[in-house]
Structure 1
Amino acid sequence: MDLFDTAPIALPHADLRYTPHWVDARTADHWLAELLARTPWEQPQVFIHGQHFPVPRLLAWYGDDDASYRYSGMTHQPLPWTPLLAEIREWVQVEVGERFNGLLINHYRDGQDSMGWHSDAEAVLGANPTVVSLNLGGTRRFDLRRVGSTRIEHSLELEHGSLLVMAGQTQHYWQHQVAKTRKPCAPRLNLTFRLIRSQP
C-alpha cells in the first residue's frame, strides 16, 4: 500500500480521496484473476417504462447474513464472504478506519458495459455513508456532476489497484457514472464496500 500517493479531490460539499497505487501490481493481478474466475456473476434486469432491460454489466453482492441490499428496484441477498474477499475487506477497513458489512462487485466486460448517473444514497446506507471503491483491471473514467446538473464537473481515471473513498456529504450533493466508451478496454472489476445499517 502506498499511502503517500493518497490525494483529496477538492470539490465543494464532498469528501473524496483517491489512492492510485493502493496495492502493488502483482497483488492486484492475483485478486483480479481469482475474482474473474470464481465469482458467480449475475446480470439482473431492471423494469423501465413498462419493459425489462438487463443491466449493462455483471455483478455479485457479498455480505454478512443480514446485509441484504435493495436499489434500483432490486433486492440482493448476500453471498457469504470468501476467504479472499474477507481478506480484502480487512485491508480496506484498516485503511479507512470503518467497518463494512456489504460488498457490491461490478464486472465491466468491455467499454460497452457501464453504470449510469446515480448517488449511493439509499436509506439503508445512513445519512452520510462511506463507500470505498477498489478498482482492478482496465482503467475506466469516473465522472462526477452536482445533483440536479447535467454538466460533468470532474473526471478521474480509475486505475488498476487504485482505491477511491467517498465519504461525508458526497452522496447528498454529487452523482457519479462510468460511461460507455468506444476505446479498447480490458475487463474491469469494481469492488464497492459499504455498511448496510438496520432496514428502515
Structure 2
Amino acid sequence: MSIEVQGSLFTDEDSDLGHLGASVTRRELSRGAWVDVRPGWASSVDLFDRLVGDVDWRAERRQMYDRVVDVPRLVRFYSETERWPNAALIDAKTALDAHYRQELGEEFATAGLCYYRNGSDSVAWHGDNIGRSATEDTMVAIVSLGATRQLMLRPRGGGPSLKFTLGHGDLIVMGGSCQRTWEHAVPKSTRATGPRVSVQFRPRGVR
C-alpha cells in the first residue's frame, strides 16, 4: 500500500503512540464482542485544527422515510489508495497495526472522518456492517479529537446501553462481533458543545 502524505507531525514526545500495550483496557461484551479503551492516546498531538482546516469535508443527504434530509455531520472517507490529509493519520495507523495486527489478522486500511460541528450534530444507532463485517469479526478503531462527546453502545435487538465519554485524544476500538451484534451512536447534546473530529480506522472491505 502506498499513500502520499506530508511530513510527519509526531515527535519523540509522542512516542506513546507506538506503545499501546498494557495501557489499553479491554471490556468484554456479549456474543463475542469487545471494546478496548486507551484514554489520551493522541492528546499531545495538535491534529484537530489541522484536520478541520485541511480536509475537504463533504455534506451528505440521505433518504429518510418520505423525504431527503441533511446528514447531521460532515464526512470524508479516505481509501487506501488516496492521499490522506495528514501524516499523523499514517503514524496512528502504523501504531494500531503494530498492536492489533496479530489479533486482527490484517492491517487497517482506510480512514473515515466525521466532523461534529456542535452538539446538534450526531450519528444514529448503527453498526459498521457493510461489507465483510456483516459476516466476519473485525475491528474499528476510533480516535476522538476536540470536544468531549458520548459514544453509546447497545446490543442489536435491544438491551441496556453502555456509555463511553470520549475526550480529546482518546482511542476506542470495537472488536470481535461488535459491528454485527451491537450498535453504536453519538447522540445529540443538549449542552453547549464544541466541535469534534472522529477518525475511524477500518480494515479493507469494512464500512
**TM-score with structure 1 setting the length:** 0.83
Match of 1:52 among 68, 76, 90: 68
- Distance between the aligned counterparts of 2:193 and 2:100, measured in 1? 29
Aligned residue pairs, count: 181
| Residues 9, 16 of structure 1: 8 Å contact kept | yes
State the partner residue of 1:95.
Answer: 99
Q: Which residue of 1 aligns with 2:129?
A: 121
Q: Is the 8 A contact 1:5 1:21 kept in 2?
A: no
Cross-structure match for 2:183: 175
Query: What one-letter code is carried by the residue in structure 2 that aligns with 1:48?
Result: M
Report deviation, 1:83: 4.4
Per the alignment, residue 17 of structure 1 pairs with: 36
The Cα shift of 1:113 comes to 0.3
The verdict on how the C-alpha distance between 1:3 and 1:32 changes in structure 2, with shifts beyond 3 A counting, is farther
- The CA distance in 1 between the partners of 2:190 and 2:86, in whole Å, is 36
- Pair 1:26 & 2:44 matched: yes
Give the superposition deviation at 1:91: 2.5
Structure 1, unpaired ranges of 5+: 66-78
d(CA) in 2 for partners of 1:21, 1:173: 28
Using a 3 Å threshold, how does the CA distance of structure 1 residues 152 and 115 change in structure 2: closer, same or farther?
farther
Aligned to 1:76: none
Determine if contact 2:54/2:85 at 8 Å carries over to the other structure.
no
Q: Mark the CA change 1:37 to 1:52 in structure 2 (over 3 Å): closer, same or farther.
A: same
Tell me by how many angstroms 1:197 deviates.
2.8
**Superposed displacement of residue 94, structure 1:** 2.2
The code of the aligned residue for 2:65 comes to H
Q: Which letter does structure 2 place at the counterpart of 1:64?
A: E
SS in 1 for 2:47: helix
- Residue 138 of structure 1 is matched in structure 2 by 147
1:53-100 deviation per Cα after TM superposition (whole angstroms, max 9, x unaligned): 1100001111223xxxxxxxxxxxxx4223423233223222322411
Sequence identity percentage: 26
The aligned residue for residue 188 of structure 1 is 196
Q: Deviations over 1:147-174 (max 9, x none)?
A: 111x542111011111111111112221
- Distance, in Å, in 1 between the alignment partners of 2:127 and 2:63 is 19
Shift of 1:33: 1.4
Q: Supply the RMSD in Å over aligned alpha carbons.
A: 1.9
Stretch moving more, 188-197 or 107-116: 188-197
Between the aligned partners of 1:88 and 1:122, the Cα distance in structure 2 is 24
Q: Is this contact kept in 2: 1:143–1:152, CA < 8 A?
A: no
Indicate if the aligned counterparts of 1:132 and 1:166 stay in contact, CA closer than 8 A: yes
Query: Displacement of 1:5 after TM fit?
Result: 3.5
Q: Structure 1: which amino acid aligns with 2:156? A: V
Moved over 6 A (4+): none
